[in-house]
Chain A
């Protein structure tokens, strides 16, 4: 998966501001040959309660629908989702797997003590048994 450096920096900053809660957003780009992330859209974590937001994120369907209309209007495509794991590794949890959609790239940013560190990209296996990892290539 290819991602623009400026977009990745935006994502890091966006999830750092949400710490100690989980931050989340959408990866926007073009599909063709491979997936290239050219934009990001920070989304509101609609999980209830502050305690819950430290462990979970939820992008409401209404929010997703509005975002996807805007993205389609720009001739682009939602290619995945990013979210942060505050003080936890950038690996998908079983909860992530249960709720994952196929095909989407799931970018997870580990935020240690308020600073974004590890970034890894994942894709759900077709049989929902787990994730395969994608290399993240950062381009200027």
Chain B
């Protein structure tokens, strides 16, 4: 038995008019090469001068595109069927004539790009013509915006609604100390224009929502996501799928980062990977969990890199590949991602055809999973004065305890709490506290479940204590 190759109509004249040809086993590359050797006039239509398959020649082995398999190294065994399927492309004008020209100043500025054959004048003009939008001018958005502006991406959109805070400066390198207290948009716009006056910055002083997302993102060729929450991530993903716009994804947590490109031609989307978000509160934010400042620098730069490759039309982008970077061990892992045919937004029969309520979808604002009585910082200060028996339990980690602590508190990290319940006096009033008030609510739940009745959680954590009661406690 041999391998059957299905020939599409336009190529049949080159193989004697037949619609199928039988060949021996081998890799797809070998088989097509043998076919082209046997039918010499077929070769220029299948292969480029350098011997590689032309970009618009798509090959399926049985029902699978070889891009999802081992590309041209995919093995076809006896009984397998190879189909050569045309991918049809074209366009009005030669790319170069439709692109904007570069000024002398720009030619000088981008000279290190221009002398790269993979960029060259046409690539640089593509960058100038490109419109990229960044969701969030924070840890990931900072390096991404800086490199995209420096690279000469003609129009950069920024979506943010936050102001620059002292704690941002450890990693959000587009902002400066002088910008603390001003809007992130104004701060970033000033820095980017100073870096490269040839680029246009468009700002959107708003939170991205289901109401405005399509309107804002529609205007751009590529979307770079620098947000740190699940509702926005699913919103950006779904909007990009609906708009057919590539979504350059990045996320960070402590020492780990992820990068991929979703919603691109035939590539998977974020929902193909994560159908549903984790329960609210399960994954801590950077504010709760911390992050090494250089990590968003690395991940955001990778996002800028992928964005530039998409604009240049390079192959081998991160479409269908998820990169996992561990900064502490310095390891880089790659996971192959498949497009999920059952995906609710990009699958064959999508159930999501318009943007939904992502806050509700991610369980934000709904009944919180951990709920219990809270106490304000001021109230706690008063109760401590009046009740020397009140038990204050700090459920943060020891290294946070090193940064600052409440005088009356006992340190029992959340992870140790279940094993140390016997150290607690159940008759006393208990107040749990952490950094911002999330972990202490978990602790409260745990204590309630163990039978402790008089437990409250400090609203806003030690951060609120610092701002409302005792400024000598440093904020972090």
Contacts and interface: CB of A to CB of B under 8 A. Distances in A.
Contacts of A96: 90-91
A99 interface: yes
A102 B266 contact: no
Interface in B211-240: 218-222
B417 interface: no
Interface in B131-145: 131
Interface in A30-69: 46-62, 64-65, 68
Given A55-B98, A93-B93, A101-B45, 18 more contacts: A46-B266, A49-B246, A50-B245, A52-B221, A57-B90, A57-B91, A58-B89, A61-B58, A64-B87, A64-B88, A65-B85, A78-B9, A95-B95, A96-B90, A99-B88, A99-B90, A102-B14, A127-B44
10 contacts: A48-B264, A51-B131, A62-B65, A77-B9, A78-B9, A81-B90, A85-B93, A93-B92, A102-B10, A103-B9
A126 B91 CA distance: 21
A78 B30 CA distance: 28
A20 to B, nearest CB: 11
Interface range on chain B (Cβ under 8 Å from partner):
35 or more
A67 to B, nearest CB: 10
Contacts of A94: 94
A56 B91 contact: yes
Contacts of B88: 24, 57-59, 64, 81, 99, 101
B181 interface: no
Interface in B26-49: 41, 44-45
Nearest to A123: B10
Interface of B: 8-14, 41, 44-45, 55-56, 58, 60, 65, 83, 85-95, 98, 129-131, 218-222, 243-246, 264-266, 310
Given A22-B92, A93-B92, A51 B58 contact: no
A65 B10 contact: no
A111 to B, nearest CB: 10
A61 B86 contact: yes
A23 to B, nearest CB: 12
Contacts of B219: 50
Interface range on chain A (Cβ under 8 Å from partner):
35 or more
A68 B87 CA distance: 12
| Interface of B, helix, strand, loop or mixed by DSSP | mixed
A127 B265 CA distance: 30
Contact of B221 (A48, A62, A79): A48
Contacts, number: 132
| Interface of A, helix, strand, loop or mixed by DSSP | mixed
Interface string A102-140: 111010000000000000000000111000000000000
A54 B222 CA distance: 15
A11 interface: no
Contacts of B14: 102
Contacts of A54: 92
A104 B90 CA distance: 13
A46 to B, nearest CB: 6
A93 B221 contact: no
Nearest to A87: B92
Contact of B85 (A50, A58, A61, A81): A61
A93 B86 contact: no
Nearest to B87: A61
B389 to A, nearest CB: 65
Contacts of A65: 60, 83, 85
Given A49-B220, A60-B265, A128-B44, A101 B89 contact: no
Nearest to A85: B92
